[in-house]
Amino acid sequence: MKVLICDKTENEYIEQMRAAGLTVDVRDDITPEELPNVLPAYDGMVVRSRTKVRQPLIDVCPNLKVIVRGGAGLDTIDHEYAKSKGITVMNTPLANSASVAELTIGFMLMMARSLYQAAASVKAEKWDKKSFNGDEIGGKTLGLVGVGNIGKEVAKRASVMGMTVVAYDPYVKELPGIQLVSLDELLAQSDYISLHLPKTKESANMISTEQFAKMKKGVRIVNCARGGIIDENALYEALTSGKVAGAALDVYAEEPPIDWKLLKLDNVIGAPHIGASTKEAQGRVGAEVAEKLIAFAKNQK
């Protein structure tokens, strides 16, 4: 089986695939314009968030049998269409859970203690201690919108730090140690709100003007899930009005953003979609990608 690696994958696991008999070519800098000319020669492809696999690309690849997405989401792939063409689509949902959860907690601590602003102040050779009187996150309520693999990891860490955790997830009926509530209840109760759900037609802009109006004044929001779940224009208004005290964003409706005004606000912390960017997560992703492709190839024989 011939496999094209389209995005960064740890070399150790590429060699594992080759040792198992797969023909693996690495083009982790391949452009969207090049893909339609190159991919038709391959049976399988490995992608991360950089490479998008949409219907027009699938239509010119009659030999394609499997797409493996290194990561939790499938929103960069027209996966239902791919499946309708007989293509198997897989991802690695557990590999980066801990890394994204740790980033989420880190963002919350940064907002609670104004760490970004405090560090910038010291680098500017200022000693403005009285401006950085923060809050503890212990004793506060964290509302999780979505409690899949990553949401559960965030809940574990937040609980240990003394937070009360409530969650909204229409696909989960019971979760030990976490109180499941309606979305409106979560919005009204939470001091921090963190999103951990996929981007779908149902979740697009699900946090918008109406939802901000139901939140506590001074709430803080984290999005390490997918851009476009929060209405960014509504978030801007909520941040500038004082309804929302702070936001920490790792993902955006457009990546990179087209309009940077949201990220230029003093009460916004931004990162360039680095949730899974740890050595440990990259290793786990590579290992799971190799395992799944090797197993798929064996089943084709």
* Residue % of the chain over a pLDDT of 70: 100
For 154-184, what is each residue's pLDDT tens digit?
A: 999 999 999 999 999 999 988 888 999 999 9
Tell whether the model's pLDDT for residue 301 goes beyond 80.
no
- Among the options 34, 210, 255, 280, which is catalytic? 255
Q: What is the pLDDT of residue 102?
A: 98
CATH 3.50.50.60 fits 97-270, yes or no: no
280 close to 99: Cβ distance less than 8 angstroms? yes
Output the pLDDT for position 299.
Answer: 87
Residues of the chain with CATH 3.40.50.720: 2-95+279-300, 97-270
- Count of beta carbons in the 10 Å neighbourhood of residue 57: 20
List the structure tokens of 211. Answer: 């939802």
Tokens of 79: 């996966």
Residue 189, C-beta contacts closer than 8 angstroms, at least 6 positions apart: 141, 143, 166, 181, 216
The CATH number of 2-95+279-300, from 3.20.140.10, 3.30.465.10, 1.10.760.10, 3.40.50.720, is 3.40.50.720
Q: At 75, is the pLDDT very low, low, confident or very high (cuts 50, 70, 90)?
A: confident
In whole angstroms, what is the distance from residue 27 CA to residue 185 CA? Answer: 48
Our answer to whether residue 226 is catalytic in this structure is: yes
Q: Are 195 and 146 in contact (CB under 8 A)?
A: yes
- Does the active-site annotation cover 69? no
Give mean pLDDT, residues 33-58. 95
pLDDT in tens, 276-295: 999 999 999 999 999 999 99
pLDDT surpassing 70 at residue 43:
yes
In the set 79, 226, 232, 288, the catalytic residue is 226
**Which of 196, 220, 273, 284 is labelled catalytic?**
273
Indicate whether 49 pLDDT > 90.
Answer: no
